[in-house]
Structure 1
């Protein structure tokens, strides 16, 4: 006895059910990552407060916590925007790398200065690099393909700041430059993959 074949409508219902399950799992995963991002930011903000209870090496005042809080809020907000726009994991990772690179640059620069100390005038140029990444992202409305080119331009700006500081005898930071350019270019490559298009 032959088993009855599934009707086209039954197949369509099964596919819709499978798709709904995939979307639900993806939403749960994103919610889990969202909780991790915001929880991690809160923990990072509280870390200096805890450290101050055990050592005199960490001495933050209210202004330090406000600045750090604003920076973390900016990174988390960037993640939220990416989470709502993203259509694939490549976009999410690309956005995370870009936001992390911005945060790392500003944090290190404000804390100790990237070149020498925080009073070195060359350090102000690194804020220009971050501004380029942020303004460029807004101008292209966070679309993946143009975002790839924004990240390439940001890497070029990072290299330009390094070259200027070196030639002007203001400082020499090859390791930081290589790390940051690597982050910007890795983000660019992932945005390109997210767009599903080749360079043109």
Structure 2
């Protein structure tokens, strides 16, 4: 039998092990940055928050991977969870509406809640997941509209461009994930 082939299948490294190792490496980045610059000054709480976020998103991906062996489904899940990770992280680090201390950023919890509730209602089935991610994109757009119409975060020097950019970016991620879930439903 040729090298690299086992039982008619190509052997490959376990992607999940690589992903978890990557998450652990991400947790080390701020630790290393703290050694070379004064700009990064994390405390135990920051590391615990970041580690908890990585564990939550990684655990959710593990759950979704078990829901389907379809590669398109898994890609859709990865994109959706990357969006959740980035939305939480950006809000915690610098905030999207104003600064990270601006309470208006709590509106984005509704975006994530929309996705989670939709995924539960869909029972992780691809067609329902596609609908849930479209609803999440609509919730993202709604938060952006509320922020703009309510002039939330107007003290920010980047207002309103930061809200437009974030709304477009995250809504795009949710819609890309919805499209991939739709493709997985048709497969």
The aligned residue for residue 106 of structure 2 is 124
SS in 1 for 2:41: coil
> How do 1:58-97 residues align onto structure 2 when only pairs under 5 Å count?
58-97=40-79
CA distance in 2, matches of 1:153, 1:32: 33
Q: TM-score, normalised by structure 1?
A: 0.82
The aligned residue for residue 11 of structure 1 is none
Higher relative contact order (CA 8 A, sep 6+): 2
> How do 1:131-150 residues align onto structure 2 when only pairs under 5 Å count?
131-150=113-132
CA distance in 1, matches of 2:22, 2:112: 22
Q: Which runs of 5+ in 2 are unaligned?
A: 1-6, 154-159
Query: Number of aligned pairs?
Result: 173
Q: TM-score, normalised by structure 2?
A: 0.87
Output the aligned Cα RMSD: 1.5
The aligned residue for residue 191 of structure 1 is 181
In the TM superposition, structure 1's runs of 4+ consecutive aligned residues that sit over 4 Å from their partners are none
> Which stretch of the first structure deviates more once superposed, 146-155 or 80-89?
80-89
SS in 1 for 2:134: helix
CA distance in 1, matches of 2:57, 2:8: 30
Larger Rg: 1
Q: Residue 8 of structure 2: which of 9, 12, 21 is its match?
A: 21
- More helix by percentage: 1
